[in-house]
Copies of this chain bind each other. A is one copy, B any other.
């Protein structure tokens, strides 16, 4: 008997998460076992509120175009379900909605929190006597999921950071004689330094930047940092720094949240780059510029990595195939078969090994002085930023129809 599928996006979006959505919808269409694909409006909140988008109402061209569309087209959310003990009602509500709409497949596109949610839902659905195939689809720019070699979303942000570092470094190189000597680029990755670390690939291009890489895995040492800035400016004439938003001092406090207050007594807002800039001004008196890429880095579809997009598409496709094969409580993950040439495949991994686990940069990736990366790291990162750039004729996007399925239940809450 045909069952419908539910697909939801979770947490911070990436420039390729919609490629996974596109794959789920197109692959499900091929199967006679799956009826419609309903997308949660604003992620799992859409299921709780019974706000289901009927993706079958969208044109094929629109679904195809999702491969190249940034953001989360159906809406994502930051909403973590509590444990079953704490809030059984939430889980019961989900099952009630799934039952009301004949949903037999649950695809949850997110990070390790979402893997945990998918796992819990697969467990509770069995207990409540409403069997559901639960598949988590990996997505995170942070690249911090366990078991998988890399995470869809990461390769593209890495490519953005590498490209931007090279371009800005050429700019600074040309101005340093009489103007800016130091440039700081702040990038994402609060707890793991994957994004920051990937910037090492920019060193293959002239002028060999970044000279300093500041990782959240390495305690920020102000003295060592300032010495290296000074030395680099003396030797090269200029210095380019890529810093993670999550670097911490020896007390374990985020640099971006350290002591300085504004005139009103408010703690200054985040921003590692302006702090480092202030430090360089005060202690070294070197003219510097800084950039904070923020959402630009994770939404830059125009610069997304072809390999990353292929990963994102393939995990979506395989998620449907695994569900049809009867798998449950798994995630399609990327297995690297070789780096040079880059070969990979997508296989199923149990969610129990992925849920709530955070993978940091391996020690072997970080150089001795803690401010650079090793050859091993470069070998890991390089293939992930490769592949064809998207063929976007112009960067204009259209709205979808976003037609809602008629509600059958009482309102939630």
Please list the residues of chain A having a beta carbon within 8 angstroms of any beta carbon in chain B.
9, 12-13, 15, 42-43, 45, 69-79, 162-164, 166-168, 170-175, 177-179, 183, 185, 204-207, 259-264, 266, 268-269, 271, 273-274, 277-278, 281-282, 289-296, 298-303, 395-399
Closest to A393 in B: B389
With A171-B13, A295-B171 known as contacts, the answer to whether A264 contacts B269 (CB < 8 A) is no
Ordered nearest first, which 6 A-B pairs have the shortest CB separation?
A: A71-B170, A72-B174, A260-B262, A291-B294, A167-B299, A171-B299
Could you tell me if A42 and B167 are in contact, using CB atoms closer than 8 angstroms? Answer: no
Question: How many Å from the CB of A79 to the closest CB on chain B?
Answer: 5
A168 to B260, CA, bound (A): 29
CA separation between A204 and B179, bound complex, in Å? Answer: 38
Q: How far is the CA of A243 from the CA of B171 in the complex (A)?
A: 23
Query: Quick one: closest B residue to A186, CB to CB?
Result: B292
Asked whether, in the complex, the Cβ of A179 is within 8 Å of the Cβ of B77, the reply is yes
Within 8 Å CB of A175, what residues of B? 12-13, 72, 76-78
A167-B301, A290-B292, A292-B291 known; A75 vs B205 contact (CB < 8 Å): no
Which of B43, B173, B300, B396 is within 8 Å of A164, CB to CB? B300
Is B395's CB under 8 angstroms from A162's CB? yes
Is the pair A302, B303 in contact by a Cβ cutoff of 8 Å?
A: yes
Closest to A291 in B: B294
Quick one: which of B174, B183, B273 contacts A76, CB cutoff 8 A? B174
| Residue in A166, A266, A293 whose Cβ sees the most chain B Cβ within 10 Å | A166
Partner of A167 from the list B70, B178, B204, B399 (CB cut-off 8 Å) is: B70
Interfacial chain B residues near A259, Cβ < 8 Å: 263
Bound Cα distance A324, B339 (Å): 55
Q: How far is the CA of A166 from the CA of B395 in the complex (A)?
A: 8
Complex CA distance for A339 and B1, rounded to whole angstroms: 59
Residues in B with CB closer than 8 Å to A43 are 178
Q: Quick check: A77 and B177 within 8 Å, CB to CB?
A: yes
- B13→A174 contact, CB < 8 A: yes
State whether A263 touches B260 (Cβ < 8 A).
yes
Residues of B within 8 A of A12 (CB): 175
User: Is the Cβ of B274 less than 8 Å from the Cβ of A171?
Assistant: no
Q: Roughly how many angstroms separate A122 CA and B66 CA in the complex, as a whole number?
A: 57
| Bound Cα distance A413, B260 (Å) | 43
User: How far, in angstroms, from A397 to B71 measured CA to CA in the complex?
Assistant: 31
Q: How far is the CA of A23 from the CA of B324 in the complex (A)?
A: 59
User: Which B residues are CB-close (under 8 A) to A170?
Assistant: 69-71, 299, 397
A296 to B205, CA, bound (A): 16
Cβ 8 A contact of A174, one of B75, B185, B206, B264: B75
User: Across the interface, do B9 and A174 meet the contact criterion of CB distance under 8 Å?
Assistant: yes
Cβ contacts A to B, 10 pairs, < 8 Å: A43-B178, A70-B170, A78-B178, A162-B395, A205-B397, A259-B263, A260-B264, A262-B278, A269-B277, A291-B293
What chain B residues lie within 8 Å of A282 (beta carbons)?
264, 266
11 extra interface residue pairs, beta carbon distance < 8 Å, beyond A162-B395, A266-B282: A78-B178, A79-B178, A164-B296, A167-B299, A168-B294, A206-B399, A260-B262, A264-B282, A268-B278, A291-B292, A291-B294
Q: For the complex formed, measure the closest distance between the CB of A17 and the CB atoms of chain B, giving whole angstroms.
A: 9
A298 touches B171 (CB 8 A): yes
Q: Which residues of B contact A185 (CB under 8 A)?
A: 296
B291 touches A295 (CB 8 A): yes
Min CB–CB distance A21 → chain B (angstroms): 11
Residue on B nearest A74 in the bound complex, by CB: B174
CB distance A205 to B71 under 8 Å?
A: no
A318–B271 CA distance with the chains assembled, in angstroms? 45
- Residue pair B294, A167 in contact (C-beta under 8 Å): no
With a cutoff of 8 Å between Cβ atoms, the chain B residues found around residue A166 in the complex are: 395-397
